[in-house]
Structure 1
Amino acid sequence: MNGVRIGIIASLLLCVWIVWPKSEKSAPPRPLLIKSALKDAKDPVIVLGDSIVRQAQLPRSLCKRPVINAGIDGSTTSSGLDGMLKKAIGDKKAALIVVSLGINDAETMDSVESYRKNYAALLTALKTMTSRLTIVAVTPLETGKEVGHRTQPIIDGYNAALPDIAREAGASLIAMPAMPTGFTSDGVHLSASGAAIWTKAMSDGVTATLCPNG
């Protein structure tokens, strides 16, 4: 009987291997990668967000806790990231969840009211997975470059709402410093210099929340 079971399992694994894309550019879906990264992570700092997060070179650890990049391209405040993360983290708890969202909400031209409502619902759901939440301000657009349907006034409106969103959720807020010329590669996604500024601001904010005394 055991031999039959082993044969069935081996056949299933072979089928998965056969149908799985094998080009050099192919990779498992981001939710699976996030789940795998969280599997052995104890009291992690989870950075949840869109392509700004996914492309960032995050530190391996902050405040002696592993940092997990949970960025997924195209994510918005209404993308169901809480459900994805709940499946990935299971019954574990994160030391801190950092949320960075808004650039894609602006692309869909979501109103500030919708942004607030969706963000509040997301943070409420995330509270079941951590005792600490931090929100990162939305990065600005770079003038003179193609940015889709996004406009700076929409992003300014989102950022103006974030202090109240954070306060109502009991979360801390990480502001972004002024960005230099050339801080994006395409008007939206961060260049190497812009990403370095973003990562430092995020890391400093996490440190101030988790280990302010070192």
Structure 2
Amino acid sequence: MNGVRIGIIASLLLVVWIVWPKGEQSAPPRPLLIKSALKEAKDPVIVLGDSIVRQAQLPRTLCKRPVVNAGIDGSTASSGLDGMLKKAIGDKKAALIVVSLGLNDAETRDSVESYRRNYTALLTALKTMTTRLAVVAVTPLEPGKPDVGNRTPQSVDGYNAALPDIARDTGADLIAMPAMPAGFTSDGIHLSETGAAIWTKAVSDGVTATLCPNG
């Protein structure tokens, strides 16, 4: 009987192994990867945000501090990123937390007032985990491309118009985004290689201006 049971269990384990997702889909969830990256990082620069952040090829270090990419696809200003980051960082503090959010808020047609309220609440919560904060301007859309969805240039413009006040009210620095050339996205939302290079340089320059303006 024991042999039969062992055989059944072994067969079940084999089936589980066969159907378990392989490759990219079997990777650990982003919060676990972020927690792992923060475990050994001393005084890190944390870049928090949505898929624009997650897909960015950020420098390994800025101002002699490790850079941790904490981008999670689909994130909005009301996604509870502060709770996720608190669990990941524990009792440590970051040298700087940079936040880049807005395109998914625009997809849900969140009003400017709601965006302002949610973003302010998020930054206020993040202040307990860092000595400095910065917010990044929302990247524009490329209308007519497949992933624009419910987003409109007017909604993104409204968010960007609110960001200086949000930054001022929370003591955060504002990182502006330069004008983007044609073809700066791959699908209307996500950045192409050209757009990503511009975005990454703007964020890197913003971090440097905040943390080590004198080199």
* AA matched with 1:194: G
Residue 161 of structure 1 corresponds to 162
Residue 23 of structure 2 corresponds to 24
Could you say if the C-alpha distance between residues 19 and 40 of structure 1 is closer, same or farther in structure 2, counting changes exceeding 3 Å?
Answer: farther
Gapped runs of 5+ residues in structure 2?
A: 1-12
Q: Structure 1: how far apart are the matches of 2:108 and 2:86?
A: 25
Three-state SS of the structure 2 residue aligned to 1:117 is helix
Q: Structure 1: how far apart are the matches of 2:118 and 2:140?
A: 20
Could you say if the C-alpha distance between residues 21 and 86 of structure 1 is closer, same or farther in structure 2, counting changes exceeding 3 Å?
Answer: farther
Q: Structure 1: how far apart are the matches of 2:175 and 2:55?
A: 19
Q: 1:14-163 alignment to 2 at 5 Å?
A: 21-25=20-24, 26-146=26-146, 147-163=148-164
* AA matched with 1:40: E
Task: Write out per-residue CA displacement over residues 80-137 of structure 1, whole angstroms, 9 at most, x where no aligned residue.
Answer: 0000000000000000000000000000000000000000000010000001000000
Residue 3 of structure 1 corresponds to none
Q: Structure 1: how far apart are the matches of 2:172 and 2:34?
A: 23
Could you say if the C-alpha distance between residues 83 and 151 of structure 1 is closer, same or farther in structure 2, counting changes exceeding 3 Å?
Answer: same
* AA matched with 1:163: P
Gapped runs of 5+ residues in structure 1?
A: 1-13
Q: Structure 2: how far apart are the matches of 1:97 and 1:174?
A: 12
Q: Structure 2: how far apart are the matches of 1:19 and 1:167?
A: 54
Could you say if the C-alpha distance between residues 128 and 181 of structure 1 is closer, same or farther in structure 2, counting changes exceeding 3 Å?
Answer: same
Tell me by how many angstroms 1:19 deviates: 9.9
Could you say if the C-alpha distance between residues 24 and 42 of structure 1 is closer, same or farther in structure 2, counting changes exceeding 3 Å?
Answer: same
Q: Count residues with an aligned counterpart.
A: 199
RMSD (Å), alpha carbons? 1.5
Task: Write out per-residue CA displacement over residues 142-163 of structure 1, whole angstroms, 9 at most, x where no aligned residue.
Answer: 1321300000000000000000
Residue 211 of structure 1 corresponds to 212
* AA matched with 2:145: K
* AA matched with 2:180: M
What is the percentage of aligned positions where both structures have the same residue?
82
Q: Structure 1: how far apart are the matches of 2:200 and 2:209?
A: 14
Question: Normalising by the residue count of structure 1, what TM-score does the alignment of the two structures yield?
Answer: 0.90
Runs of 4+ aligned residues of structure 1 deviating over 6 Å after TM superposition are none
Could you say if the C-alpha distance between residues 22 and 95 of structure 1 is closer, same or farther in structure 2, counting changes exceeding 3 Å?
Answer: same
Tell me by how many angstroms 1:24 deviates: 1.4
Q: Structure 1: how far apart are the matches of 2:86 and 2:19?
A: 25
Residue 174 of structure 2 corresponds to 173
Three-state SS of the structure 2 residue aligned to 1:99 is strand
Question: Normalising by the residue count of structure 2, what TM-score does the alignment of the two structures yield?
Answer: 0.90
